[in-house]
Amino acid sequence: ERLAALYRIAADHGTFVNLDMEEHRDLDLSVEAFIQVLDQPEFHHMPAGIVLQAYIPDSHAALDRLVAWANDRHAAGRAPIKIRLVKGANLAMEQVEAELHDWPQAPYYSKADVDASYKRMLDTAIRDADPGAVRLGIASHNLFDVAWALTVRDSLDDPTRIEIEMLEGMAPAQARAVRDAAGSLLLYAPVVEKADREASIAYLSRRLDENSGPENFLRSLFDLTPDSPAWQRELERFRTSLERQDAIEVTSHRDQDRRTEQLTFTADGSFTNVADTDFTTPGNRAWAESILAMPEPAEPALTTTVAAVDDALERARAAQERWAQTTWQERREVLARVAEVMASHRAETLAAMAITTGKTLREGDPEVSEAIDFTTYAAHLTLDHERLEGSLTWQPHEVVLVAGPWNFPYAIPASGIVHALAAGSAAILKPAPEARAVGALLVSQLHKAGVDPDLVQLVATPDDEVGQHLVTHTGVSEVVLTGSLATADLFLGWRPDLRLRAETSGKNSLIITAAADIDLAIKDLVKSAFGHAGQKCSAASLAIVEASVYDDPSFRRRLADTVRSLRVGWAEDVATTVGPVINPPSGPLARALTQVGPGESWLVEPRQLDEEGRLWSPGVIWGVQPGSWFHLTECFGPVLGVMRARDLDDAIVIQNSPEYGLTGGLHSLDPKEIDTWLERVQVGNAYVNRHITGAIVQRQPFGGWKRSSIGGGAKPGGPSHLHSYGTWTTGELNVDRARSEFARAWTTRFGIDTDATGLRCESNVLRHHRLEGVIVRGQTSGAAYDVLTLAAHTTGTPVMWSDPLDETDEQLATRLPGLGAERLRLLADASPGLLAAAHDAGIAVDRQPVTDAGEVELPRWLKEQAISVTRHRHGRLLR
């Protein structure tokens, strides 16, 4: 519709429109839109053009289709089309996309193949297109290619079929010479409004690539004289391309087809992220259409009695006793089968999430990949456990209760379950009420993979006394929760001595400074704020913008335009970018979508789009004040607040003010600003010059600081996470061994930044920070005291001791809020009152015994931070 409107305006003004594209993913869409619009009767006699990039093998099939269609169009007496042939100037970004998604690179892998492809496309078009049906634009600064095109043109009965094109300002002297030789020359000149000049940066960056690329013709231009070394080199390249044009492959590099693939996983403990679905391939698009036609999944039966809960736990404990006797290798083999079943049922899982939780295919597909990754990564982590068992004894938790969320109903429960299995534990899934069907599907997939039905069970209780009985049951060794802070408070209120690990709430923000690429910052901000309708725990709820940018009217306009361009709809519509909220808004979200506070106004006012109240257009609140309700309150939906900061220092203070510390971002191209921010930001996942959502297993282990995390423990998706599912013990503590092991672990792992993935385009570092303080509840003498003192010294973490012989639990509980500690280490039992006081003070309780193994002991004195930094700009690598 938008393209048709553009053509109507062009027709009124006699303007020729050329449809261009930068990215491979837009190729099929652009060709389809071009044909569909020009097939409308009002455009039958309108000439129009389209650009094809020779560095993409897929362009050959697109050319064949366009030529055949143009011939039919011409035979029907309609206007000709023009096809502009370019070599392609977005290689760097195509390589970035391939690396980030684990996909094959869409363009050819060598410049020689690109040059050969260019010649072949011209020959194909001249040979197969009817005279008068297709005109060709040969767009190149390579003088050998231009001369060759002119030679081909001279052999034609109608030389107007070929027109030479160049870019304004790239090679002015050569352009004049070509014009004189060709008789005419079409120059393409970029035009941009002064207010939007930043939009030209990507274009100018690609021009820089053309001038500086080691194999690009323009790099040799100033040394090019007949018979010079540069001349001979370019001549040889030209001849090679002519010789190779019939030999190059013209089939797509991107041939993933979910309809036919059968993924297999080894049981050797190796780990590689599984690739997300590439929706640019025809097979996958057909596969996606079939998903949306799948029936609604069945809801599982509820567990409605205390007796049924008791029975489930009794069966789980019996199954766990058998499972704990299996070897690490046997567990790896089971997990490999689980991953294969998950992969083979990807479509069924996506359909269930779309129908029951409103998750679009583009949001749901990475979640399935994440679940598979968690499974194979859990198997990978068993290798370290197997090695450590040579000097330590591992005792898995018997039964792990996984209390899953509705916003990530598949991957997050899968993480808890597969890590429990890897550790040797049984797992019971208590799904969120809105996601019970997805939870049932997950458990059934585990059973299909051969997991004992008693070892992994779905226990879907109502949120009543039966659910409370399950959570507080003494047969539950540990609860793994992903949900709100209020839910964590509720669980611990029921049972203060509950072993609870929880990822809770977040009030996440992205800082934009004056040194940012503003267009990229807006793009990443909108993606972070409104993906899955703002219902990701990592979603950006706030933009904190430096004053000079905040006060710029063009920033307001561009942000508002970007937000308004998002398409709101149901998950069953493949065009939807913002899906429904899980339930009609209530509480903080209802307030955020309908009210603004003092000093605030709507930049984009949200609107309810359906009767039920689940479809809302995104909203943007302008002028959120520091310390205000919206600044400090998690709302969890499609509404973004924008705040003004004097400078970066002020922005960091604003960003760190909420009690949560889950994710945060910075957009700045200034290395000093980046370093300053990374030193001071208080979040578990920090992102620089990219969106702040979409953590990937191993790349960005996920979990927060402050009140975003309850119970401590290492991040899911990180190298220490499996330690959380059991207990390591050592026979007799040895201080000398501890000294040696702590030093080794510190210098090789915990005291350095590590990047397990090693991507060129993105740095993904896991960094360990010392805790603000650890209170040890135990005697201040003996081997345990010596080892813990050594651990505190090694990590630099302040340690405070509370000896039960000198201080009662009640006395310590009174002191806790003022100690500034982040962790309470218990070497003996503690009263419910002390445990409750620790939780109220935001202090994690660590009950694990003392060990002299550095890999096990030191993480208990540290907190993890995953730092993801984009290392390129428009594909060009930075420092």
Q: List pLDDT tens digits, range 555-598.
A: 999 999 999 999 999 999 999 999 999 999 999 999 999 999 99
CB 545 within 8 A of CB 642: yes
Band the pLDDT of 204: cuts 50, 70, 90: confident
- The set of residues, in sequence order, having a beta carbon less than 8 Å from that of 257 and lying 6+ positions away, is 281, 283, 284, 287
Q: Where in the chain is the domain with CATH 3.40.309.10?
A: 508-707
Query: Is the pLDDT assigned to residue 210 strictly greater than 70?
Result: no
| Residue 672: count of CB within 10 angstroms of its CB | 10
- Mean pLDDT value across the chain: 95
Q: Which residues on adjacent β-strands are paired with residue 664?
A: 509, 686
Bridge-based pairing state of the strands 876-877 and 872-873:
antiparallel
Query: Is the pLDDT assigned to residue 202 strictly greater than 80?
Result: no
CB 512 within 8 A of CB 549: yes
Band the pLDDT of 213: cuts 50, 70, 90: low
CB 559 within 8 A of CB 525: yes
User: What one-character-per-residue DSSP string does 282-351 give?
Assistant: HHHHHHHHHHTTSPPPPPPPP--SHHHHHHHHHHHHHHHHHHTTS-HHHHHHHHHHHHHHHHHTHHHHHH
**Separation CA 686–CA 667 (nearest Å):** 11
The whole-model pTM stands at 0.95
pLDDT in tens, 468-480: 999 999 999 999 9
With CA atoms as reference, report the closest residue to 525 among 552, 545, 497. Answer: 545
The domain covering 268-502 belongs, at the CATH homologous superfamily level, to Aldehyde Dehydrogenase; Chain A, domain 1 (3.40.605.10)
Q: State phi, psi for 480 to the nearest 5 degrees.
A: -110, 110
**Separation CA 793–CA 610 (nearest Å):** 59
Band the pLDDT of 229: cuts 50, 70, 90: confident
CB 517 within 8 A of CB 198: yes
Query: Is the pLDDT assigned to residue 295 strictly greater than 90?
Result: yes
**Separation CA 134–CA 65 (nearest Å):** 12
Band the pLDDT of 227: cuts 50, 70, 90: confident
| Residue 157: count of CB within 10 angstroms of its CB | 6
- The set of residues, in sequence order, having a beta carbon less than 8 Å from that of 681 and lying 6+ positions away, is 652, 655, 656, 664, 666
CB 510 within 8 A of CB 651: no
616-645 mean pLDDT: 98
- The set of residues, in sequence order, having a beta carbon less than 8 Å from that of 630 and lying 6+ positions away, is 592, 597, 600, 621, 624, 641
Query: Is the pLDDT assigned to residue 700 strictly greater than 70?
Result: yes
Bridge-based pairing state of the strands 393-396 and 726-729:
antiparallel
Band the pLDDT of 833: cuts 50, 70, 90: very high
pLDDT number for residue 681? 99
pLDDT number for residue 256? 97
Element (H, E) at 640: strand 639-645
CB 348 within 8 A of CB 287: no
Residue % of the chain over a pLDDT of 90: 90
pLDDT number for residue 470? 98
Q: Domain 2-244's class?
A: alpha beta
| Residue 574: count of CB within 10 angstroms of its CB | 15
Per-position b or e across 166-191, b if 16+ CB within 10 A of its CB: bbeebbeebbeebeeebeebeebeee
Query: Is the pLDDT assigned to residue 334 strictly greater than 90?
Result: yes
pLDDT number for residue 874? 86
535-541 mean pLDDT: 97
Query: Is the pLDDT assigned to residue 879 strictly greater than 70?
Result: no
Band the pLDDT of 169: cuts 50, 70, 90: confident
144-149, Cβ contacts within 8 angstroms, sequence gap of 24 or more:
144/217, 144/234, 144/235, 144/237, 144/238, 145/115, 145/118, 145/119, 145/238, 146/178, 146/182, 148/119, 148/238, 148/242, 149/122
Structure tokens at 575: 């065009």
Q: Where in the chain is the domain with CATH 3.40.605.10?
A: 268-502, 730-879
Tell which phi-psi region holds residue 495, choosing left (phi > 0), alpha (psi between -120 and 50) or beta.
beta
Q: Domain 508-707's class?
A: alpha beta
442-471 mean pLDDT: 98
**Separation CA 256–CA 500 (nearest Å):** 41
With CA atoms as reference, report the closest residue to 487 among 466, 473, 467, 507. Answer: 467
pLDDT in tens, 743-798: 999 999 999 999 999 999 999 999 999 999 999 999 999 999 999 999 999 999 99
pLDDT number for residue 211? 63
**Separation CA 273–CA 29 (nearest Å):** 28
789-818 mean pLDDT: 97
pLDDT number for residue 475? 97
pLDDT number for residue 232? 85
Alpha-carbon Rg for the chain in angstroms: 31
Band the pLDDT of 197: cuts 50, 70, 90: confident
Query: Is the pLDDT assigned to residue 212 strictly greater than 70?
Result: no
Cα distances from 441 to residues 377, 502, 846, in angstroms, run 21, 23, 34
Residues found in the chain: 879
Domain 730-879 architecture = 3-Layer(aba) Sandwich (3.40)
User: What one-character-per-residue DSSP string does 594-614 give?
Assistant: H---TT-EEEE---B-SSSS-
pLDDT number for residue 172? 83
For Cα atoms 481, 619, 192, give the angle at the middle one, nearest 5 degrees. 120
Q: Where in the chain is the domain with CATH 3.20.20.220?
A: 2-244
3-state SS track over 798-849: CEEEECCCCCCHHHHHHHHHHCCCCEEEECCCCCHHHHHHHHHCCCEEECCC
Query: Is the pLDDT assigned to residue 220 strictly greater than 80?
Result: no
Q: State phi, psi for 625 to the nearest 5 degrees.
A: -95, 145
CB 710 within 8 A of CB 839: yes
Band the pLDDT of 347: cuts 50, 70, 90: very high
